[in-house]
Amino acid sequence: MSDVYMPGISSRFNTDRIVEGLMKIERIPRDRSEREKERLQAQKTYWQDVNRRMVSLRDSARQLYSFQNPFNDRIITSSDASVLTGGAVRQTMPQTKEFTVKQIAQADRFLSSPVDDSFTVEAGVYTFDSGPEHISFNFKGGSLKDFVDALNRRGKGKIEASFVTVQSGKKSLLIESKITGEENNLVFSDAALDLALKSGVLEQQINLQDVAITLVDGGGAVQDAGQTGQEVAAQLSAVDNDSLKVSAAGGASIAFPDNTVVSQGLTIFFETAVKVLPTEPPPKVEPPPGPSVPQTGSVTFNGIVIDSAPSSVPIPEWKPPEPPPRIDDMNVLSLTFSDGTNIELAPIEDASGFTRVSFQIPDSEIGKTLVSLNIANKNTHRDVSLRRIQIMDPSDPINYKPANPVSVAQDAVVSMDGISVSRATNTIDDLLPGITIAVKKPSDTPVRIAVEADRDAIKDAIITFVGNYNRVMAEINVLTRNDDRIVQELSYLSEEEQGDMRNRMGAFAGDSTLTQYKNAAQNAVTAPYSTATGTEMLAKYGIGADMRMSGGSSGYDPSRLRGYLEIDEKKLDEALEINLAEVQQLFGFDSNGDLIVDSGVAYSLESLTRPYVETGGLIFIRTATIDSRIKADEQRIATLDKQLAEKEAALRIQYSQMENAYNRMEQMSNSLENFSRQNSNNGR
């Protein structure tokens, strides 16, 4: 139907088709230039991809011998990472140390007593200090949640608060410092102190001074005739496990610290225990035997013995002595002052266990100096014991202590090779040069840490180097060869990547630039290099073009002739474990002692690659040349597009004029035919 002519709508002679056919011929030079431009753009992309691969290879080669090479990286291995871990800076000397973590550093974390959900926090200025951190803010009053939110906003991550629902309708406020160390105690001031006392976070601490049990010679002991007070004290009083025991009829005096001056409200605390001895019957007393009377003599006369009458002594009637009286006197304690005066303390009570006793010194004694606490045990059937003597002086500043501490501020205490050290944090970086240890938890058993080379990082760097080398070789093989087997051998590529590789196969066939680089790179990775111990090659340490294990297939494999490197991981691992220094020197070595690397696989390959990828290098020149050619083609295409547009416009004008002329001629022919037909009709 396209050939049907419709006046005013279609062209009688199908002008569009004719013009398009003529213009198709005219566009041949322009299409040729467009295809050349696309080819050049593809080549530029290929060169850019090669450049990117070479840059990656250069960087990975440089990493293996530069100042930041992984051979100087250090790691710390711990025999128990749950107790102690660490890290080391580069070039730290390899060493082994043993640590025993006695305690870890902690910060103050205080929990309040349970309070009702309706508990409100009063308005005021709330001030908290923890070490160098000082936080103070005005709180307008509100619920416990409002206060927690306000403190956390201003706590700067150094002091925080939260609350825990301990039971239905009850919460406990938790306020904690984030700064560890025993010098960084959490201190409450202003309204914060009132809140802490009101909620049970803190409680007032009584200042008690312990009094050591030190006996005063003589001690006021009850003495027997002919004995000194010191002798009695030695026999009837003894100190054992910080407890003084005074036997029946004994005595002792305990000295107070020097300059213990009595102030108002001064109170003495101590614990007493009384052991009641069993009552035994008095020993039976026999009457005295009386005087010894000598026997009288005798007389012998003429064999007759005449004895004298025996002597006799009158003995009074025997009356046994009365047993000693039982003494029960509980007023055994007294105080002695420096002016020689004494006051008695309240009587003690019988109690087999220790009982806590307090005694507030009367105001009448204010200003005097305490000398001793005396025990005069006049009892005949009681032993009295005394311990835990303390003095409370109300004039001392008021202190507060946490009522429910979750943890208290303390330093980390660590023993290194038997040397004990302490730090305010669990991260200690000033104990050993270049080594930082992190304390996790206490342990009774030593933990051994070892500083050694980071062999995993070294291995990863070598694998990255080999991978980048192989990708460059693959790129060059594909671009310089038109062989589909090269793409098939790259099994690590995805289907899409393989398709892209097939599109660029042979794009630079015959280009000597890439071929020369490939040959030089192959020589660089297979050549022998000097080390401190001799001349070595990569293949010795498990890196080479053909690292098949002995006993495997030794048949022809063309893929092993294309310059790719392989890694025998087992062999490489052994080399990194045993010959780490040689492996390092094989990649980069200072052969002349000027502290600059000038030899090695990585050094050679980086030196080879640098002229190709640096600014103004070979690839830069290639892409710049392609850019100029693309620009010339674009200008040519623009000129041709302009000429083609003018040519098409001229053709359409010509064919339009021809069609108009034909239409006029046809109209004239029709007019003449109608005129002739009309004349014929009139002649009849």
* Domain carrying residue 332: 209-277+328-392
* pLDDT reading at 30 higher than 50: yes
Residue 370 phi, psi (nearest 5):
-70, 135
Asked if 215 and 201 sit in the same domain, the reply is no
In whole angstroms, what is the distance from residue 560 CA to residue 546 CA?
6
- pLDDT value at position 451? 93
- pLDDT value at position 222? 39
Quick check: is 39 in a domain? Answer: no
* pLDDT reading at 185 higher than 90: yes
Asked if 425 and 342 sit in the same domain, the reply is no
* pLDDT reading at 45 higher than 60: yes
**Pairwise pLDDT comparison (224 vs 267), residue with the higher score:** 267
The residues that bridge with 387 in the sheet, in sequence order, are 243, 271
Where does the pLDDT of residue 561 fall: very low under 50, low under 70, confident under 90, or very high at 90 and above?
low
- For the record, the structure tokens of 471 come out as 């990708």
Average pLDDT, the chain: 86
Helix 618-683 / helix 28-63 crossing angle, nearest 10 deg: 160
In whole angstroms, what is the distance from residue 185 CA to residue 402 CA?
11
Q: Is 88 helix (H, G, I), strand (E, B) or coil?
A: strand
Any idea how long the chain is?
Answer: 684
Asked if 142 and 249 sit in the same domain, the reply is no
Per-residue pLDDT averaged across 404-415, rounded?
A: 94
Per-position b or e across 525-549, b if 16+ CB within 10 A of its CB: bbeebebeeeebebbebbbbbebee
Quick check: is 682 in a domain? Answer: no
- pLDDT value at position 9? 47
Asked if 249 and 363 sit in the same domain, the reply is yes
Quick check: is 11 in a domain? Answer: no
CA dihedral (542, 546, 552, 553) in degrees, to 10, reads 180
Quick check: is 369 in a domain? Answer: yes
- pLDDT value at position 612? 93
Give the number of other Cβ atoms within 10 Å of residue 219's Cβ. Answer: 24
- pLDDT value at position 233? 43
What letter represents residue 409's amino acid?
Answer: A
In whole angstroms, what is the distance from residue 501 CA to residue 495 CA?
10
Asked if 427 and 403 sit in the same domain, the reply is no
In whole angstroms, what is the distance from residue 654 CA to residue 27 CA?
19
**Pairwise pLDDT comparison (570 vs 207), residue with the higher score:** 570
Could you tell me what percentage of the chain is helix, strand and coil, using 3-state DSSP and rounding each to the nearest 5? 35, 25, 35
Helix (H) and strand (E) counts in the chain: 13, 36
Per-residue pLDDT averaged across 166-170, rounded?
A: 88
Q: Cβ(104)–Cβ(428) under 8 Å?
A: no
Question: Given the DSSP bridges, would you call strands 202-205 and 399-402 parallel, antiparallel or unpaired?
Answer: antiparallel
Give the number of other Cβ atoms within 10 Å of residue 400's Cβ. Answer: 15
- For the record, the structure tokens of 484 come out as 């589909």
Per-residue pLDDT averaged across 339-366, rounded?
A: 89
- pLDDT value at position 235? 59
In whole angstroms, what is the distance from residue 101 CA to residue 86 CA?
13
Per-residue pLDDT averaged across 65-75, rounded?
A: 91
Quick check: is 651 in a domain? Answer: no
Asked if 380 and 268 sit in the same domain, the reply is yes
CA dihedral (62, 64, 68, 73) in degrees, to 10, reads 170
In whole angstroms, what is the distance from residue 37 CA to residue 634 CA?
7
**Pairwise pLDDT comparison (237 vs 38), residue with the higher score:** 38
In whole angstroms, what is the distance from residue 254 CA to residue 203 CA?
32
Where does the pLDDT of residue 548 fall: very low under 50, low under 70, confident under 90, or very high at 90 and above?
low
Where does the pLDDT of residue 226 fall: very low under 50, low under 70, confident under 90, or very high at 90 and above?
very low
CA dihedral (282, 286, 291, 293) in degrees, to 10, reads -170
Q: Cβ(205)–Cβ(403) under 8 Å?
A: no
Where does the pLDDT of residue 4 fall: very low under 50, low under 70, confident under 90, or very high at 90 and above?
very low
Quick check: is 438 in a domain? Answer: yes
In whole angstroms, what is the distance from residue 601 CA to residue 465 CA?
11
Asked if 222 and 175 sit in the same domain, the reply is no
Q: Is 617 helix (H, G, I), strand (E, B) or coil?
A: coil
Count of structural domains, the chain: 4
- pLDDT value at position 298? 74
* pLDDT reading at 662 higher than 60: yes
- pLDDT value at position 637? 85
Please, what sign has the CA dihedral across residues 338, 340, 345, 350? positive
Asked if 564 and 464 sit in the same domain, the reply is yes
**Pairwise pLDDT comparison (236 vs 325), residue with the higher score:** 325
* pLDDT reading at 210 higher than 90: no
- Comparing CA positions, the residue from 20, 42, 2 lying closest to residue 630 is 42
* pLDDT reading at 230 higher than 70: no
Of 120-134, 202-216, 613-627, where does mean pLDDT reach its minimum?
202-216
For 468-505, the pLDDT digits (tens) are 999 999 999 999 988 888 888 888 888 888 888 888 88
Per-residue pLDDT averaged across 194-200, rounded?
A: 94
Give the number of other Cβ atoms within 10 Å of residue 16's Cβ. Answer: 12
pTM > 0.75:
no
In whole angstroms, what is the distance from residue 424 CA to residue 341 CA?
51
- For the record, the structure tokens of 161 come out as 């608060």
Contacts of 579 (CB under 8 A, 6+ apart): 541
Residue with tokens 């002229």: 611
Q: Cβ(619)–Cβ(54) under 8 Å?
A: yes
Runs of H (alpha helix) within 229-311: 229-236
Asked if 134 and 192 sit in the same domain, the reply is yes
- pLDDT value at position 510? 80
* pLDDT reading at 390 higher than 70: yes
Q: Is 449 helix (H, G, I), strand (E, B) or coil?
A: strand
- pLDDT value at position 221? 39
For 96-154, the pLDDT digits (tens) are 999 999 999 999 999 999 999 999 999 999 999 999 999 999 999 999 999 999 999 99
Among 392, 424, 443, residue at a domain's last position: 392
Contacts of 234 (CB under 8 A, 6+ apart): none
In whole angstroms, what is the distance from residue 404 CA to residue 408 CA?
10
Quick check: is 674 in a domain? Answer: no
Where does the pLDDT of residue 192 fall: very low under 50, low under 70, confident under 90, or very high at 90 and above?
very high
The residues that bridge with 160 in the sheet, in sequence order, are 176
- pLDDT value at position 667? 81
In whole angstroms, what is the distance from residue 482 CA to residue 413 CA?
70
- pLDDT value at position 606? 95
- pLDDT value at position 5? 44
Q: Is 192 exposed, middle or buried (0-12, 13-18, 19+ CB in 10 A)?
A: buried
- For the record, the structure tokens of 130 come out as 């923890």
Quick check: is 501 in a domain? Answer: yes
Asked if 500 and 543 sit in the same domain, the reply is yes
Contacts of 637 (CB under 8 A, 6+ apart): 30, 33, 34, 37
What letter represents residue 251's amino acid?
Answer: G
For 72-101, the pLDDT digits (tens) are 999 999 999 999 999 999 888 889 999 999
In whole angstroms, what is the distance from residue 684 CA to residue 682 CA?
5
Among 568, 589, 618, residue at a domain's last position: 618
* pLDDT reading at 664 higher than 60: yes
User: What is the SS3 assignment for 135-202?
Assistant: EEEEECCEEHHHHHHHHHHHCCCCEEEEEEEEECCEEEEEEEECCCCCCCCEEEEEHHHHHHHHHCCE
Per-residue pLDDT averaged across 278-291, rounded?
A: 75
Q: Cβ(174)–Cβ(147) under 8 Å?
A: no
Per-residue pLDDT averaged across 508-530, rounded?
A: 91
Asked if 471 and 522 sit in the same domain, the reply is yes
Instruction: Fill in the DSSP letter of residue 75.
Output: E
Among 373, 407, 441, residue at a domain's last position: 407
- CATH number, residue 380: 2.60.120
Q: Cβ(335)–Cβ(345) under 8 Å?
A: yes
Contacts of 41 (CB under 8 A, 6+ apart): 626, 630
* pLDDT reading at 583 higher than 90: yes
Max alpha carbon distance in the chain (Å)?
Answer: 249
- Comparing CA positions, the residue from 223, 257, 219 lying closest to residue 238 is 219
For 622-647, the pLDDT digits (tens) are 999 989 988 988 888 888 888 888 88
- pLDDT value at position 557? 57
Q: Cβ(161)–Cβ(364) under 8 Å?
A: no
Asked if 252 and 152 sit in the same domain, the reply is no
In whole angstroms, what is the distance from residue 50 CA to residue 391 CA?
88
- pLDDT value at position 146? 94
In whole angstroms, what is the distance from residue 599 CA to residue 603 CA?
6
Contacts of 121 (CB under 8 A, 6+ apart): 139, 141, 142, 143, 144, 146, 147, 195
